[in-house]
Structure 1
Amino acid sequence: MLALDAIAYSNRWRPRHPGEKALLALGLLGAAVALPPWPGALLTGSTAMVLLLGPAGVTLRQVWQAVRVPLGFVLTGSVPLLVAVGGSPWLAWEPSGIPRAAELAGRAMAALLCLLLFATTTPLADSLPRLTRIGVPPAITEVASLIYRMVFLLLDSARAVREAQAGRLGFRTWATTYRAVAGQGGAIFVRAFDRARRLEEGLALRGYSGSLTVQVEYQAVSRRFIAATVGLLAAIVTVTLMARVVMV
């Protein structure tokens, strides 16, 4: 199981309805994107972080493990705004790019934390079957669930092949490492096609007619949670707009 999935199954908000968490997380995400980065990004990002560490019960270490790779992309994308290209000298420091880089990084980090608020509290197995109720075609949800399942199978295959190669000293030198990696890619490619073929045959033998019926665990929608979410989003929008008026 991936680390993000393990967090999604073990947090305190796991029993809550996915729609509640989607309204909260996507509402914060919309606010982070639509509102001015200052102080909108700060408010939405801080709110998402507080909810993750507080009511949701996700630890700071788990948040860092989930955010560290995307954070690298955020910082890398902000760096080009700090340099000017094409002048004299050809590559020079651009002081005026600091505010834009800060706004970009702040908005991106806020949006990332809002997405993590949903991803770390809601397993994909809870949200995918419910998407058909809001109009998503069943074929899309089924393909997504099959791909999600195949990811774990491919990871298991890659781990097994790598362990077998390591047991045969396949990573002893650079030359053997390149050869082992190439062989690993070929073996995983063949196994993926074989598993896909067997999956297709299994569905056909079970009378697959275009939709997979999955029993979804009943989860009641909390009206108090919905009301609190709407009030929180309204408060963030109000405070941001008032702060912008005061700053102007």
Structure 2
Amino acid sequence: MLPLDAAAYTNRWRPRHPGEKAFLSLGLLACAVALPPWPGALIVGVVAGALLLGPAGVRPRQAWRVLSVPLGFVAVGSLPLLVAVGGRPWIRFEPSGLPMALGLAARATAALLSLLLFAATTPLADTLPRLTRLGVPAAVTEVAALMYRMLFLLLDSVHAVREAQASRLGFRTWATSYRSLAGQGGAIFVRAFDRARRLEAGLALRGYTGSLRIEVEQRPVSRPFVAGSAVLLGTVVAATLALRGVVA
């Protein structure tokens, strides 16, 4: 199981309605995008992180395993703002780009934490069936669910093939490693194609008519949670504007 899925199924907010968590996390995301990066991004990031590790009950190690790779992309994406091209020397450090780089990194990190607040507390199996009620075509949600299921099957195939190759010393040298990677890609493609064909045959034998009927667990929406989320979002906006005025 992927770290994100493990966190989504083991947190304390798992029984809550996905709409409640979407309202809170998307509201924080909107604040991270619309409010000034300083101090708006800092406040949104702290609030989202505190909710994630506190009331939601996601363990810090789980959160770090999920965040480590996206944070690397944020850092790499911010570095070009610190570099100037042209003149003498042709490529050089640009100090004036430091505020922009920090603002971009802060805003992106706050938005990432806001999205993680929803993704790490809500399994995809709880979200996809409810999207059809919002007007999303059933074909889109079904394709997404099938791709999600196939992802785990392909990861299992990659692990099995890699273990078999490693047992045969397939990664002993650079040459054998390249040969093993090429064989791994071919084997995974064949397995994926075979699984897709068997899945299509299984659906046809079960009388597939263009839509999959999935029973969705009924969960009431907590009005206190929604009201508290609205108050929290209003507090974030007010605190950002107040601190912005003090700094200005």
Q: TM-score, normalised by structure 1?
A: 0.98
TM-score, length basis structure 2: 0.98
User: C-alpha displacement at 1:52, in angstroms?
Assistant: 0.8
SS in 1 for 2:186: helix
1:8-157 alignment to 2 at 5 Å? Answer: 8-157=8-157
Distance 1:176 1:243 in 2: 59
Report the equivalent of 2:235: 235
Offset of residue 119 of structure 1: 0.9
CA deviation map 1:65-104 (0-9, x unaligned): 1111111111111111111111211111211111111100
Q: Distance in 1 between matches of 2:133 and 2:238?
A: 32
CA shift for structure 1 position 64: 1.1
Q: Distance in 2 between matches of 1:177 and 1:83?
A: 36
Give unpaired runs (5+ residues) of structure 1. Answer: none
Alignment partner, residue 167 of structure 1? 167
Cα distance, 1:244 vs structure 2: 2.2
In 1, distance between residues paired with 2:191 and 2:61?
A: 35
Q: Counterpart of 1:198 in 2: which secondary structure?
A: helix
How many angstroms apart in 2 are the aligned matches of 1:84 and 1:171?
A: 41
What is the DSSP-based 3-state SS (H/G/I as helix, E as strand, rest coil) of the residue aligned with 1:96?
helix
User: Could you give the per-residue CA deviations for residues 124-176 of structure 1, whole angstroms, max 9, x where no partner exists?
Assistant: 00001000011111010000000000000001111111111122222222221
Q: For residue 46 of structure 1, report the CA deviation from its aligned partner.
A: 0.3
Work out the CA distance in 2 between the residues paired with 1:171 and 1:77: 32
Q: Give the secondary-structure state (helix, strand or coil) at the position aligned to 1:92.
A: strand
Counterpart secondary structure, 2:95: coil
State the Cα deviation string for residues 182-236 of structure 1 (Å, max 9, x = none).
1010000011111111111111111111110001111111000000000111111
2:208 partner SS: coil
Tell me which amino acid in the other structure corresponds to 2:6: A
How many residues are aligned here?
248
User: Separation in 1 of the partners of 2:213 and 2:224?
Assistant: 31
The question of 1:207 aligning with 2:207 is answered: yes
Cα distance, 1:181 vs structure 2:
0.9
One-letter code of the match for 2:24? L
CA distance in 2, matches of 1:247, 1:184: 57
Cα RMSD (Å) of the superposition? 0.9
* Counterpart amino acid of residue 34 in structure 1: A
Secondary structure at the counterpart of residue 188 of structure 1: helix
- Distance in 2, matches of 1:168 and 1:148, equals 31
Residue 246 of structure 1 and its aligned partner are, at CA, apart by 2.8
